[in-house]
Structure 1
Amino acid sequence: MDHWLTTIPPIAVYLLVGLAVGIESLGVPIPGETILVAAAILSSRHEAAISPHGIAIAGVAGAVIGDTIGYTIGRRYGERLFGYLGRRFPRHFGPDLVEYAEHVFRRWGMLAVFVGRFIALLRIFAGPLSGSLKMHYPRFLTANAAGAICWAGGTTYLVYYVGTAAESYLKNFSYVALGIAVVLGILGSTILRRKMEQNVAKFAAERDARLAAQEPTD
Structure 2
Amino acid sequence: MAPPLPGPLAHLAPLLSHYGYWAVGAVVFVEDFGIPAPGETIVIAAGVYAGAGRLNIVAVAVIAFAAAVAGDNIGYLIGRTGGRAFVHRWGRYVFLTPKRFQAAERFFTRHGGKIVTVARFIEGLRQANGIIAGTAGMPWHRFLVFNSLGAALWVGLWVTVAYVAGEHITAVYDEITRYQIHVLVALGVLLLVFLVRHLVRRRRPQE
Match of 2:70 among 58, 65, 69: 65
- Bigger mean CA offset, 11-20 vs 148-157: 11-20
Equivalent pair of 1:74/1:132 in contact (CA under 8 Å): yes
Q: Which residue of the partner structure matches residue 99 of structure 2?
A: 96
Of structures 1 and 2, the larger Rg is shown by 1
Q: Which residue of the partner structure matches residue 36 of structure 2?
A: 29
- TM-score (normalizing by structure 1): 0.71
In the alignment, structure 2 segments of 5+ residues that lack a partner are 4-14, 193-207
Q: Secondary structure at the match of 2:121?
A: coil
In the alignment, the residues of structure 2 paired with residue 151 and residue 78 of structure 1 have an alpha-carbon distance, to the nearest angstrom, of 26
Q: Does the C-alpha gap of structure 1 residues 38 and 80 become closer, same or farther in structure 2, counting only changes over 3 Å? A: same
Match of 1:133 among 124, 133, 136: 136
Q: Which residue of the partner structure matches residue 47 of structure 2?
A: 40
In the alignment, the residues of structure 1 paired with residue 36 and residue 101 of structure 2 have an alpha-carbon distance, to the nearest angstrom, of 14
In the alignment, structure 1 segments of 5+ residues that lack a partner are 164-174, 204-218
In the alignment, the residues of structure 1 paired with residue 47 and residue 106 of structure 2 have an alpha-carbon distance, to the nearest angstrom, of 34
Q: Does 1:19 align with 2:26?
A: yes
Matches within 5 A, 1:186-197: 188=178, 191=181
Letter in 1 for 2:171: I
Q: Does 1:79 align with 2:70?
A: no
In the alignment, the residues of structure 2 paired with residue 60 and residue 102 of structure 1 have an alpha-carbon distance, to the nearest angstrom, of 24
Task: Deviation per CA, 1:149-183: give whole Å up to 9, x if none.
Answer: 110122101221222xxxxxxxxxxx3x2443355
Report how far residue 138 of structure 1 moved: 0.4
In the alignment, the residues of structure 2 paired with residue 108 and residue 190 of structure 1 have an alpha-carbon distance, to the nearest angstrom, of 19
Q: Does the C-alpha gap of structure 1 residues 17 and 4 become closer, same or farther in structure 2, counting only changes over 3 Å? A: closer
Q: Does the C-alpha gap of structure 1 residues 104 and 181 become closer, same or farther in structure 2, counting only changes over 3 Å? A: same
- TM-score (normalizing by structure 2): 0.75
Equivalent pair of 2:24/2:63 in contact (CA under 8 Å): yes
Report how far residue 4 of structure 1 moved: 4.6
Q: Does the C-alpha gap of structure 1 residues 189 and 72 become closer, same or farther in structure 2, counting only changes over 3 Å? A: farther
Letter in 2 for 1:38: A
Q: What number of residue pairs does the alignment pair up?
A: 176
Equivalent pair of 1:21/1:62 in contact (CA under 8 Å): yes
In the alignment, the residues of structure 2 paired with residue 98 and residue 115 of structure 1 have an alpha-carbon distance, to the nearest angstrom, of 17
In the alignment, the residues of structure 2 paired with residue 156 and residue 127 of structure 1 have an alpha-carbon distance, to the nearest angstrom, of 22
Match of 1:180 among 159, 171, 183: 171
In the alignment, the residues of structure 1 paired with residue 59 and residue 78 of structure 2 have an alpha-carbon distance, to the nearest angstrom, of 28
Q: Does the C-alpha gap of structure 1 residues 38 and 4 become closer, same or farther in structure 2, counting only changes over 3 Å? A: closer
Q: Over aligned residue pairs, what C-alpha RMSD do you find?
A: 2.7
Q: Secondary structure at the match of 1:29?
A: coil
Task: Deviation per CA, 1:85-133: give whole Å up to 9, x if none.
Answer: 33323xx312332111001110011111100011111101111111111
Match of 1:146 among 131, 144, 149: 149
